[in-house]
């Protein structure tokens, strides 16, 4: 090694002049590079806020730093606590950060440029200027209001518990408090985020302690974990089984009551377990009670066996007693299940029999019914069920509009060729469309033309006391509809025969035939109504056994049921 070093020395001594010339040339070249190094570029090896910007164009450095600054969240904490309340971006609190001035000041001055090799070490040694921060106070206040309310109040969070694989653990409480807007704005305005260091601000508050602290929650967790450590025993039909701790604790929900943390068992969470594991062991199906009736009279009854099932609420109460240390083992409580009732009904071919049929049909089928039946000849059978119950008319109101229109035609106040009643149609066409097709535009135009007050007066004049046109909804009953149809068929409405024939002719051509016409044995003149869950059918049926009137009003039923009821009524004539 010594020989090698000596050799290098001898070589250097021998080549001293060329080496001096080469070294001098390199220094001169470096000085030239330093002197002409672009002023719009950062010095070599420079860093700003931890970002390597060696040789970058200054405009690119500004863009990069400002991008990083806008993305840097600001940790907002409350008072002297360590809990984080929020992480807004600078723009959210009205803070803008500018790096233009600091980067412009990152100069490579001439007196350093003439120092040999300064290009290689000036950048890392250069002092960093601070960014320029600008605060929009209005935006800062808006943030405080949106995040903490106009009164600058942060609610405390009570401690609670959560179930895990190792039992219950504490979800820590958080203090709350009330701050002053000026102090909150000042704290947020003091934030100085930079690219490599998040800013943190604290808002001074009058601290509000939570109602339930961690110690209170910890005590309850210890109690419940201990009570369920070996699972919860439950007696099911005389045999004891164990419900695992994890399962039982998963049913619990916690809430604050005053300064205490309390719990209850959520039956919805517990139901799947009991349905699968407990209920099948104690359930017994109920039997069938068979009842025979004739008209309104019960003629026989064969009682079915009472069944049983799990009484879940009472069972869960027992489990709570175990959790509270009042019992060692819970008991699966049993509830009785009444037998299902099947009816075998028969009816006399009388008004009483038909009345019983109407009531039982409402009992046995979905929806609410209001039904009125009346024979206009023959035996004069008649019956009603909920006949005085008011329903929204739906389109059956068009029968009353038709009556008022016919009265005015008879009196010469309106003419069948009156033009432009609705959509370019004359009165004759509109009247026909209103009844045959249940056209709404024509009906509404005629109501406007006649007036609700006069329509109601016409209705009252023929004895319909439960029917009215109102501002909200028009109302009627099956009794009123049946009275109207009876008077119409018997020629007792105060209109001319040709007017009566026009209305009946239109009703016989009604295009909606799924209700009474589908179940009737003869030609039917009817007007239906359907709206929301309402289905109504007001009909005159020209049956081989004699003409009858049937008005069926329903809410929540079906056209098939109306047709079926019609067939059953005809079977009793």
Flag whether pLDDT at 29 surpasses 80.
Answer: no
Rounded CA separation 39/109 (Å): 9
Rounded CA separation 448/438 (Å): 17
Q: Are residues 337 and 355 in the same domain?
A: no
pLDDT of residue 519: 98
Residue that terminates a domain, selected from 319, 341, 363? 341
Q: Are residues 439 and 471 in the same domain?
A: yes
pLDDT of residue 206: 83
State the CATH number of the domain containing residue 261: 3.10.20
The reply to whether 154 falls in a domain is no
The reply to whether 314 falls in a domain is yes
Q: pLDDT category, 43, cuts 50, 70, 90?
A: confident
Q: pLDDT category, 75, cuts 50, 70, 90?
A: confident
Q: What are phi and psi of 457, to 5 degrees?
A: -65, -40
Helix (H/G/I), strand (E/B), else coil: 175:
coil
Higher confidence at residue 127 or residue 482? Answer: 482
Rounded CA separation 307/553 (Å): 38
The whole-number average pLDDT for the span 225-235 is 95
pLDDT of residue 98: 84
Residue that terminates a domain, selected from 273, 307, 341? 341
Out of 115-129, 355-369, 384-398, pick the least confident: 115-129
Q: Are residues 272 and 399 in the same domain?
A: no
Structure-block tokens of residue 6: 């000596």
Number of domains comprising the chain: 2
Q: What is the pTM of this model?
A: 0.65
Flag whether pLDDT at 15 surpasses 70.
Answer: no
Q: Are residues 360 and 444 in the same domain?
A: yes
Flag whether pLDDT at 216 surpasses 80.
Answer: yes
Flag whether pLDDT at 84 surpasses 80.
Answer: no
Q: Are residues 513 and 371 in the same domain?
A: yes
pLDDT of residue 30: 66
pLDDT of residue 527: 98
Rounded CA separation 41/52 (Å): 13
- CB neighbourhood size of 341 (10 A): 12
The reply to whether 78 falls in a domain is no
Flag whether pLDDT at 136 surpasses 70.
Answer: yes
| Residue partners of 135: CB distance under 8 A and separation at least 6 | 94, 95, 96, 189
- DSSP secondary structure, 359-402, as one string: HHHHHHSSSEEEEEEEESSTT--EEEESTT--EE-GGGHHHHHH
Q: Are residues 377 and 426 in the same domain?
A: yes
The reply to whether 124 falls in a domain is no
The reply to whether 363 falls in a domain is yes
Q: pLDDT category, 307, cuts 50, 70, 90?
A: very high
Answer for the pair 510, 435: CB distance below 8 angstroms, yes or no: yes
Helix (H/G/I), strand (E/B), else coil: 149:
coil
State the CATH number of the domain containing residue 525: 3.40.710.10
Q: Are residues 369 and 474 in the same domain?
A: yes
**Could you tell me which of 406, 553, 539, 384 has the C-alpha nearest to residue 476?**
553
Mean pLDDT of the chain: 90
Q: Are residues 396 and 489 in the same domain?
A: yes
pLDDT of residue 215: 95
| Residue partners of 570: CB distance under 8 A and separation at least 6 | 519, 520, 521, 543, 545
- Assign 3-class secondary structure to 453-476: HHHHHHHHHCCCCCCECCCCCCEE
The whole-number average pLDDT for the span 58-78 is 81
Flag whether pLDDT at 566 surpasses 80.
Answer: yes
Q: pLDDT category, 19, cuts 50, 70, 90?
A: low
Q: Which percentage of the chain shows pLDDT scores above 70?
A: 94
Q: Are residues 294 and 417 in the same domain?
A: no
Flag whether pLDDT at 450 surpasses 70.
Answer: yes
The reply to whether 198 falls in a domain is no
Q: Are residues 414 and 530 in the same domain?
A: yes
Flag whether pLDDT at 428 surpasses 70.
Answer: yes
Give pLDDT tens digits for 278-299: 999 999 999 999 999 999 999 9
Out of 34-43, 413-422, 453-462, pick the least confident: 34-43
Higher confidence at residue 36 or residue 159? Answer: 159
Residue that terminates a domain, selected from 341, 366, 386? 341
Q: Are residues 317 and 391 in the same domain?
A: no
pLDDT of residue 1: 64
Pairing of strands 340-346, 288-294: parallel
The reply to whether 281 falls in a domain is yes
Give pLDDT tens digits for 490-549: 999 999 999 999 999 999 999 999 999 999 999 999 999 999 999 999 999 999 999 999
Q: Are residues 472 and 324 in the same domain?
A: no
Q: pLDDT category, 152, cuts 50, 70, 90?
A: confident
Out of 3-7, 113-117, 311-315, pick the least confident: 3-7
Helix (H/G/I), strand (E/B), else coil: 196:
coil
pLDDT of residue 175: 83
Structure-block tokens of residue 388: 């005085």
Q: What residues make up the domain containing 361? A: 348-571
The whole-number average pLDDT for the span 182-201 is 82
Flag whether pLDDT at 25 surpasses 80.
Answer: no
The reply to whether 253 falls in a domain is yes
The whole-number average pLDDT for the span 447-465 is 97
Q: pLDDT category, 312, cuts 50, 70, 90?
A: very high
């Amino acid at each position: 090694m010594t020989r090698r070093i000596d050799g290098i020395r001898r070589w250097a001594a021998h080549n001293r002049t060329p080496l001096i010339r080469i070294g001098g040339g390199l220094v001169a070249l470096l000085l030239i590079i330093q002197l002409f190094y672009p002023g719009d570029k950062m010095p070599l090896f420079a860093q700003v806020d931890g970002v390597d910007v060696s040789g970058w164009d200054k405009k690119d450095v500004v863009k990069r730093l400002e991008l990083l600054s806008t993305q840097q969240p600001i940790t907002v904490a409350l008072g002297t606590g360590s809990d984080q309340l929020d992480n807004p971006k600078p723009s959210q609190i009205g803070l803008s950060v500018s790096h233009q001035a600091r980067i412009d000041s990152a100069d490579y001055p001439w007196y350093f440029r003439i120092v040999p090799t300064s290009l290689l070490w000036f950048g890392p040694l250069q002092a960093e200027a601070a960014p320029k921060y600008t605060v929009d106070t209005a935006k800062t206040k808006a943030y405080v209001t949106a995040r903490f309310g106009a009164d600058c109040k942060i609610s405390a969070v009570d401690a609670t518990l959560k179930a895990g694989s190792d039992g219950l653990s504490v979800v820590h409480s958080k203090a709350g408090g009330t701050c002053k807007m000026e102090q909150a704005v000042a704290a947020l305005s003091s934030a100085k985020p930079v690219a490599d260091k998040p800013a943190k601000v604290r808002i001074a508050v009058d601290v509000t302690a939570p109602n339930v602290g961690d110690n209170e929650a910890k005590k309850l967790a210890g109690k419940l974990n201990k009570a369920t450590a070996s699972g919860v025993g439950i007696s099911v039909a005389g045999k004891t089984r164990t419900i695992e701790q994890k399962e039982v604790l998963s049913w619990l929900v916690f809430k604050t009551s005053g300064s205490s943390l309390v719990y209850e068992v959520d039956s919805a969470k517990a139901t799947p377990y009991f349905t699968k594991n407990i209920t099948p062991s104690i359930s017994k199906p109920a039997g069938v009670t068979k009842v025979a009736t004739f008209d309104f009279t019960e003629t026989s009854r064969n009682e079915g066996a009472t069944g049983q099932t799990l009484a879940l609420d009472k069972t869960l109460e027992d489990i709570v007693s175990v959790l509270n240390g009042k019992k060692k083992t819970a008991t699966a409580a049993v509830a009785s299940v009444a037998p299902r009732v099947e009816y075998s009904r028969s009816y006399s071919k009388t008004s009483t029999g038909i009345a019983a049929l109407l009531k039982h049909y409402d009992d046995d089928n979905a929806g609410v019914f209001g039904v009125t039946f009346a024979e206009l000849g023959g035996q004069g059978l008649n019956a009603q069920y909920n006949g005085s119950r008011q329903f929204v008319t739906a389109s059956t109101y068009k029968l009353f509009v038709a009556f008022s229109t016919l009265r005015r035609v008879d009196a010469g106040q309106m003419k069948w060729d009156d033009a432009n009643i609705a959509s370019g149609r004359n009165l004759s066409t509109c009247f026909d469309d209103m009844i045959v097709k249940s056209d709404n535009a024509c009906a509404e135009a005629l109501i406007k033309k006649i007036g609700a007050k006069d329509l109601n007066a016409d209705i009252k004049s023929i004895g319909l006391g439960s029917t009215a046109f109102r501002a909200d909804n028009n109302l009627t009953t099956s009794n009123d509809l049946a009275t109207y149809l009876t008077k119409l068929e018997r020629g007792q409405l105060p209109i001319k025969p040709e007017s009566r024939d026009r209305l009946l002719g239109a009703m016989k051509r009604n295009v909606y035939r799924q209700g009474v016409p589908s179940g009737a044995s003869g030609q039917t003149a009817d007007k239906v109504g359907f709206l929301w869950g309402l289905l109504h059918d007001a009909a005159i049926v020209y049956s081989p056994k004699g003409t009858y009137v049937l008005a069926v009003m329903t809410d929540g039923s079906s056209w098939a049921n109306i047709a079926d009821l019609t067939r059953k009524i005809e079977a009793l004539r």
